[in-house]
Amino acid sequence: MDKLVITGQNRLHGKVRISGAKNAAVAVIPAALLANSKVKIENLPLISDVYRYGAILRSLGAKVEFNHHKGIMEIDPKIKDPLNPPYELIKKLRASYYLLGVLLAKYGEAQVSLPGGCDIGSRPIDQHIKGFEALGAKIELEHGMIKAKASKLKGAQIYLDVVSVGATMNIMLAATLAEGQTIIENAAKEPHIVDVANFLNAMGARVKGAGTDVIKIQGVDRLKGCTHMVIPDQIEAGTYMIAAAATGGDVVIENVIPKHLDPVSAKLREAGMKIEEDGDYIRVRGVQKPKNVNIKTLPYPGFPTDLQQPITAFLSIANGTSIVTETVWESRFKHVDELKRMGANIKVEGRSAIIEGVECLSGAPVRATDLRAGAALLIAALTAEGQTEIFDVYHIDRGYQQIDAKLRNIGADIYRVNGDYLKSVAK
């Protein structure tokens, strides 16, 4: 199993290029199965979730070629057996539930294993089910599988009880081939929702309003193949912004859409950092020891829950007390115990972490408990005095392309032990 070894206190400096968005990629790849002809997806990140979804589509019989040097995946969506995505592959990928919306729309039937819980809390899909039933599907839950069936989906008006990225995506996917119009109210507005809607429209779908809380989808008879470039990953970009600020560095983060990072830029400015943005880059300078700030995670355009753990690491060395409140997930604080092993002074009370800034963290052996907790530990290690070893790196490789190489290129003293990155993510 790979581990990362970091010797802290190097100021990060230079340029880092952001890869394609994981949370767009894991919806665009299955959505390609809606088409009747070849789909080409560009700017895909080289992360394990992308390789895994390619393997799932191959197991269904689709022809998938992934040129990982260029991040281009070509999919011939003719599948032979839509009903049996292999459990072994599905269980590793939470976003496999997008196959429900896609296969239900295209083949009238779908079955996928229910997502288990994970380290940020239970992952209910009641809103996905509410949407599919509103579109006329019959849903059965048995033996850990969710089965959906409908002779023909019919458009419906669906109000989401909770703002859910997954449910918004899944209902949008299913509605593209339904009869008539579907309206999703209280929809999520994340950039990756807009990216998937643009992809669907490029295939001939008729999706309007993505990025607002009301999305209207006029069903069509068929969708054709197209070429689509995935948007940059705003969570990866935010992670590097926070790392640059935490180390007192000066880093230009390239290939981003600055607007997608507004909440992160605002909070880093509040903490005393210098942020410049223009065109497709953001420059972050950690010009002083961070000031304490309070954070409350909210659906987009609020502060993203996926950067709550990284910014908690940053605030661990701020002057004063910061309060970070996690409103999206019920238990997204598994990183706190590991940060405390590095000398952080954090108390979790309910959905809030009260962070008393310390002068400096100290390196220690720690374990990544989930993807963004791993990112938080990396940021802590980059600022810490001494050496840190991070175990269970596979969590980090799920969502960050070659993070050790990218950090090394901007001055971090970091190396990967036991593993070759591409070998570990491509299996």
Taking contact as CB under 6 A, which single stretch among the options 165-173, 211-219, 380-388, 415-423 is the one that binds ligand EPZ? Answer: 165-173
Nearest-angstrom CA–CA distance, 348 and 325:
10
Question: Could you tell me which of 253, 285, 258, 259 has the C-alpha nearest to residue 272?
Answer: 285
Phi and psi dihedrals of 406, rounded to 5? -65, -40
∠ CA 75-78-79, nearest 5°, is 105
Applying CB under 6 A, does 99 fall inside the site for ligand EPZ? no
- In the complex, the smallest distance separating the C-beta of residue 5 from ligand EPZ, rounded to whole angstroms, is 24
- The residue count for binding ligand EPZ (CB under 6 A) is 24
Of the listed 118, 183, 257, 426, which one is catalytic?
A: 118
- Should residue 326 be labelled a site residue for ligand EPZ when binding is judged by CB under 6 A? no
**Cis? peptide before 191, omega within 30° of 0:** no
Helix (H) or strand (E) holding 235, with range, is helix 234-246
Binding of ligand EPZ at residue 234 (CB under 6 A)? no
How far is it, in rounded angstroms, from Cα 349 to Cα 84?
A: 43
242 in Cβ contact with 311 (< 8 Å): yes
> Taking CB under 6 A as the rule, does residue 128 contact ligand EPZ?
yes
What does DSSP say about strands 72-76 and 39-42: parallel, antiparallel, or unpaired?
antiparallel
- Which residue lies nearer to ligand EPZ by CB, 124 or 419? 124
Active site residue 118: yes
- Output the smallest distance, CB 78 to ligand EPZ, in A: 26
Kindly tell me which residue out of 123, 208, 291, 408 binds ligand EPZ, with binding defined by CB under 6 A. Answer: 123
Tokens encoding 302? 């609020």
Among 146, 371, 373, 378, which residue interacts with ligand EPZ (rule: CB under 6 A)? 371
25-84 positions binding ligand EPZ, by CB under 6 A: 26
CB count in 10 Å sphere of residue 185? 12
Identify the residue whose tokens are 């969590």.
395
Residues 406-425 that bind ligand EPZ (CB under 6 A): none
- Lay out the site mask for ligand EPZ across 16-35 (x = CB under 6 A, - = otherwise): ------xx--x---------
- List residues bridging with 154 in a β-sheet: 179
Q: How big is the chain, counted in residues?
A: 427
> Which of 188/377 has CB closer to ligand EPZ?
188
Q: Under rule CB under 6 A, which residues in 331-360 are in contact with ligand EPZ?
A: none
Q: Report the interface residues with ligand EPZ, using CB under 6 A.
A: 22-23, 26, 95, 120, 123-128, 162, 164-167, 188, 305-306, 328-329, 371-372, 399
Catalytic residue positions, numbered? 118
